[in-house]
Amino acid sequence: MRMTIVAAALMVAVGVQGVAAQDTASAKKEVSFKADVTPLVKKYCISCHAEEEYNPSEFSMDTYEITKKGGKRGPAWVAGKASESILVQKLWEKPPFGERMPLNSKKKIAAGTAKWMTPEEIRVFADWVDQGARNN
Ligand code: HEC
């Protein structure tokens, strides 16, 4: 009997949490590729990742379509899944391969003068992918 009550209470708690999580997700501001993502790409990425530039790993970010193609490791994102998208993973402190983006010299990283995106800016990329990575 006791177990059943505990189990029921747990199910209610999980249910309430699920609703709360959905609420925060839908209350989140819609992120725009043009107004929010592109300015960050221009500020942090395009100096290397442009067809006319160094273009490492054949990954250019000139336009939405070109960015979507991704680089030598394939598509830059899985729409709706930021944590599975290399575009977002590469901004993490410990990316799954290679260096953290935007690339900084080892010297600057060691000296603590490396320039990274702020957590809020990284959120913009992540939220945009989670919201479907649309050309909006
Ligand atoms: C100073 C040059 C430079 C800048 C600026 C830069 N990158 Fe990179 N990027 C590289 C290099 C070099 C590689 C290849 C080595 C590696 O993967 O770490 C790379 C690889 C990548 C890859 C992997 C592509 C693939 O298919 O393997 C992604 C994704 C990426 N960068 C995203 C970004 C994003 C997003 C920004 C801006 C926030 C950025 N980069 C800024 C130099 C740069």
Ligand 1 within 6 A of 39 CB?
no
**Would you state the pLDDT for residue 101?**
98
* 45 C-alpha to ligand 1 centroid (Å): 7
Per run of 10 residues, the mean pLDDT along the chain (length 136 residues) is: 55 49 62 98 96 91 96 96 97 96 96 96 98 98
The reply to whether ligand 1 has any atom less than 6 angstroms from the CB of 105 is: no
Q: Give CA–CA dist 121/124, Å, rounded.
A: 5
**Ligand 1 pocket mutation pick from 103, 106, 115 by most atoms within 8 angstroms of CB:** 103
Cβ of 47 closer than 6 Å to ligand 1, yes or no, is: yes
- Alpha carbon distance, N-terminus to C-terminus of the chain: 54
For residue 54, what pLDDT is reported? 84
Instruction: Give the pLDDT score at 28.
Output: 75
Q: Which long-range CB contacts under 8 A does 48-57 form with residues at least 24 apart? A: 48/102, 48/103, 56/103, 57/98
pTM: 0.84
Return the pLDDT at 128.
Answer: 98
pLDDT of 24 reads: 52
Residue extents of the structural domains in the chain: 30-130
Q: What is the DSSP letter of 21?
A: H
- Identify the DSSP state of 56: G
Structure tokens at 90: 């590469």
- Judged by DSSP in three states, 74 sits in strand
